[in-house]
Copies of this chain bind each other. A is one copy, B any other.
Amino acid sequence: MDSVPKSAASVKKILCEAPMESVVQVSGTVISRPPGQENPKMPTGEIEIKVKSAQLLNTCKKLPFEIKDFVKKTEALRLQYRYLDLRSFQMQYNLRLRSRMVMKMREYLCNLHGFVDIETPTLFKRTPGGAKEFVIPSREPGKFYCLPQSPQQFKQLLMVGGLDRYFQVARCYRDEGSRPDRQPEFTQIDIEMSFVDQIGIRSLIEGLLQYSWPSDKDPVVVPFPSMTFAEALASYGTDKPDTRFGMKIVDISDVFRNTKVGFLQDALSKPQGTVKAICISEGAKYLKRKDIESLRKLAADHFNQEVLPVFPKANRNWNSPVAKSIMEEQRSELIRLMEIQEDGVVLLTAGEHRKACSVLGKLRLECADLLEARGLVLRDPALFSFLWVVDFPLFLPKEENPGELESAHHPFTAPHPSDIHLLHTEPKQVRSQHYDLVLNGNEIGGGSIRIHDAELQRYILATLLKEDVKLLSHLLQALDFGAPPHGGIALGLDRLICLVTGAPSIRDVIAFPKSFRGHDLMSNAPDSLPPEELKPYHIQVSWPADSEAEKSSLNQPYHPES
């Protein structure tokens, strides 16, 4: 290290010759900036230091990219040199805001509402159907821990254990392979309470978000509106509606009940057959013919569903033969029913209720993208539109075998009190006491009132879901020993902070995220291990037949992902 220089010239030399991003120590006198040179945007913008001595503490070598150049770098480069990327204004803002917001949440829960912060294990046991859980070999041959997807079982056991207000900022794990904007480890604000109902949890969370909301954003208005799952599907075609803008789905079956148009009649005659539409305000002004065609193609390709553009008031029809088949009186009825203004475009589809809603829900978001690309603002980034979605079905038909049931959320969710009588007769009709919290079209949390009755839990697990109850015997047994009624929720912290900061990806609110392939591009994890390090765990690698080439390249130098 250089010694402290004395002369003004040598000070100047040190400071001028130090490469960008080097670390220097200066001593001197704090003085006001000369008039006109103040910078009110900087916290230190009113002062400067009259330097007496300077010392170069650490030199910075040539940087792989400029720190300020946040947007222009590839993400792979940013992740490889994460420690440099962290110096950017954006990453500093995101991580510091995250820390402050979590701290406020803790104050709210711990100090204001008597919650107890309890850590639960991450070395746990496979949960039934936990196909996405990482496995960890132990030193006992053939025995494995698993990294849990959430502390669900533990939080319920804490309620049985009399820790009646639990919370934890919990690390969770999910092995989903490569999925964009997902992380193999993520964090949730995990909450559970005894003697609480749905409204109790909801107002707790509303207060929590209001209390912890950053002061530089518009304040959170409570209570949040709520909507049933059925209504969300019918009006927005999704269980996580972005309620910042309209363009709601309208059921126009009645308009076409007596039409002669064959494909509409076909659709309406089938079970749950409907005709649905969304109206794109100013669509005729901002959307081009190719936009409409790409929307129709999307519906055809991804939903196998025909979508029909109608221009009820605009003097345009693009000679679409299907559109022509809509009669003038139906057009007028549409205008009345959907409150269509000048230049409004209607996208119409016919088919089974859920499918028709889904396709229009997707097109609604696509239209918003298209209109915003043309300069309209539908989804104000400064607006935070919270929504509770409630009354989900308790069960869904299994995808691989629709004759059987699976839990819509998880098997500990309590049935809706009004529907309990249907459990034995029409379980598919039973609504649950599950609730999702949606923010600007993203699910940021979910929870439920749980089953606290051991018999009911056994009936649902064994009889309705046909699960192996042995794996959950400890939980079932716990319910037998005076479990209080309880419920809870988990908020996805990474997603929430991402929405609050307006970051383009959750990777921008995590200090050291994995790439979308699950790699740490800085340290090159996961990495190969010599076989002797696997020996204590009694495992060996089963090399796929075609991976000999791959195997021999394991010790090759590292190539970043693109």
Give Cα A506–Cα B162 distance, bound, in whole angstroms: 20
A96 CB–B CB distance under 8 Å: yes
Q: Looking at the assembled complex, report how far the CB atom of A21 sits from the nearest CB atom of chain B, in whole angstroms.
A: 4
Give Cα A19–Cα B480 distance, bound, in whole angstroms: 12
List of B residues within 8 angstroms of A121 by Cβ: 185, 512, 514, 520
Whether the pair B538, A95 counts as a contact (CB closer than 8 A) is no
Whether the pair A484, B83 counts as a contact (CB closer than 8 A) is no
Copies in the complex: 2
Whether the pair A452, B124 counts as a contact (CB closer than 8 A) is no
Known: A137-B539, A540-B539. A523 touches B119 (CB 8 A): no
Q: Looking at the assembled complex, report how far the CB atom of A509 sits from the nearest CB atom of chain B, in whole angstroms.
A: 10
A337 CB–B CB distance under 8 Å: no
Task: Tell me which of A256-264, A324-332, A429-437, A543-551 binds B.
Answer: A543-551
User: Digit string of A88-107 for contact with B (CB within 8 Å is 1, else 0)?
Assistant: 00011001100110110011
Give Cα A527–Cα B185 distance, bound, in whole angstroms: 22
Interface centre among A57, A526, A542 (most CB of B within 10 A): A526
Known: A87-B161, A163-B92, A554-B142. A124 touches B523 (CB 8 A): yes
Whether the pair B110, A527 counts as a contact (CB closer than 8 A) is no
List of B residues within 8 angstroms of A391 by Cβ: none
Task: Tell me which of A58-66, A201-209, A241-249, A265-273 binds B.
Answer: A58-66
Give Cα A153–Cα B520 distance, bound, in whole angstroms: 13
List of B residues within 8 angstroms of A87 by Cβ: 161-162
Chain A 497-525 interface residues, beta-carbon cutoff 8 Å to B: 510-512, 514, 518, 520, 522-525
Whether the pair B538, A544 counts as a contact (CB closer than 8 A) is yes
Give Cα A541–Cα B141 distance, bound, in whole angstroms: 7
Give Cα A139–Cα B535 distance, bound, in whole angstroms: 19
Give Cα A470–Cα B87 distance, bound, in whole angstroms: 25
Give Cα A387–Cα B21 distance, bound, in whole angstroms: 39
Whether the pair A482, B122 counts as a contact (CB closer than 8 A) is no
A2 CB–B CB distance under 8 Å: no
List of B residues within 8 angstroms of A60 by Cβ: 480-482
Q: Which of B147, B171, B479 contacts A119 (CB 8 A)?
A: B171
A373 CB–B CB distance under 8 Å: no
Interface centre among A95, A111, A453 (most CB of B within 10 A): A95
List of B residues within 8 angstroms of A107 by Cβ: 107
User: Digit string of A458-470 for contact with B (CB within 8 Å is 1, else 0)?
Assistant: 0000000000000
Give Cα A164–Cα B177 distance, bound, in whole angstroms: 34
List of B residues within 8 angstroms of A535 by Cβ: 542
Whether the pair A141, B23 counts as a contact (CB closer than 8 A) is no
Mind listing 22 A-B residue pairs with CB under 8 Å?
A: A61-B480, A61-B481, A81-B481, A83-B157, A86-B161, A95-B118, A96-B163, A99-B118, A103-B106, A106-B106, A123-B514, A124-B520, A125-B524, A125-B525, A131-B533, A135-B136, A141-B551, A142-B551, A144-B526, A146-B525, A157-B512, A539-B539
Q: Which 7 A-B pairs have the closest CB atoms?
A: A86-B161, A60-B482, A125-B525, A143-B526, A138-B526, A83-B160, A99-B117
Given contacts A23-B483, A136-B147, A141-B550, 12 further A-B contacts (CB under 8 A): A57-B452, A83-B478, A84-B161, A96-B163, A99-B110, A119-B511, A121-B514, A126-B529, A131-B533, A139-B177, A144-B529, A538-B541
